[in-house]
Structure 1
Amino acid sequence: MSKKLRLQIGAMFVVGALAYMVLQGAHNFSSYFVTVKTYRAESAKFGQQTVRVQGTLLSKTVHYNPHTATLRFSLVSGGATLPVLYRGAMPNEQFHNAGAIAKGHMGRDGVFDATKLEIQCPDHYAPAKGGRS
């Protein structure tokens, strides 16, 4: 095999790998999360697939058990509610009635089993004093 042919094959491999990474990145970005309403409406489509679900964390539903390190709460969006069970440390952020994204899958008991919880802190996005941002 000539040196020129090996170089061409290597270049095609690199271009193919880059194209694959770009397409995967575009796909992941386009489905960053779904709302609770969308998740509920299309639950059959998701099945046991790991999904990121976004909604408002209802403060009246928050129950933390420090002995088992479990946090139970409900996310709501568009009139749909999703009960969530998160196993892990209690978030440090002020999360009552805040936006949140839970990553996980639906359990057999109808409760979303979250492996990761991200609190969307609205105070980080407040407009600057004087009305300018």
Structure 2
Amino acid sequence: MTKKLRMQIGTFVILGALAYLGFQGAHNFSNYFVTVSQYRHQLRRLAGMDVRVQGTLSAQSVHYNAATSTLRFSLVSNGESLPILYHGAMPNEHFKNASAIVKGEMDSHGVFVAQKLEIQCPDHYAPAPNATTEQ
């Protein structure tokens, strides 16, 4: 095998690997999360996979067990509800009725077991009530 042919094959392999990584990155970025209703409709396809699910945290569904650091709640989206089980610290009271993203997978009992919980608190992004802008 000539040196030129080996160089061409090596270049082809590297370009193929870069194209694959670019495609995977674009695919993962475009699917940052699915809504509760999308998750429910695609449950068979997403079974056994770590998935990010977004919805509104239902305030009346929140139950926290301090002894086991277990938080149970439901995410809702477009009339669909998803029961969530999360082991970790209890967020502050501002998380109720806020938009949330959970990362995890469905267990055999139909409960979504979340390893990660991200709360989006809209009040953090609102201007202060008496704020004035300087010009």
TM-score, structure 1 normalization? 0.85
Structure 2 equivalent of residue 74 of structure 1: 74
Displacement of 1:68: 0.9
Structure 2 equivalent of residue 25 of structure 1: 25
May I ask how many residue pairs the two structures share in their alignment?
131
Displacement of 1:113: 0.9
* Cα distance change of structure 1 residues 102 and 4 upon mapping to structure 2, 3 Å threshold: same
Contact 1:93-1:121 at 8 Å conserved across structures? no
Distance 1:121 1:11 in 2: 48
* Cα distance change of structure 1 residues 18 and 44 upon mapping to structure 2, 3 Å threshold: same
Displacement of 1:93: 7.7
Structure 2 equivalent of residue 53 of structure 1: 53
- Show structure 2 runs of 5+ residues with no match: none
Structure 2 equivalent of residue 104 of structure 1: 104
Structure 2 equivalent of residue 8 of structure 1: 8
Of residues 70-79 and 84-93 in structure 1, the stretch that sits farther from structure 2 once superposed is: 84-93
Distance 1:117 1:123 in 2: 18
Distance 1:29 1:124 in 2: 25
Give the match's secondary structure for 1:56.
strand
TM-score, structure 2 normalization? 0.84
Residues 14-72 of structure 1: per-residue CA shift (max 9 Å, x gap): 21111011110111122211111111222222222221110000111111112111110
Give the match's secondary structure for 1:94.
helix
Give the superposed CA RMSD.
Answer: 2.2
Question: In percent, how many aligned pairs have the same letter?
Answer: 64
- Show structure 1 runs of 5+ residues with no match: none
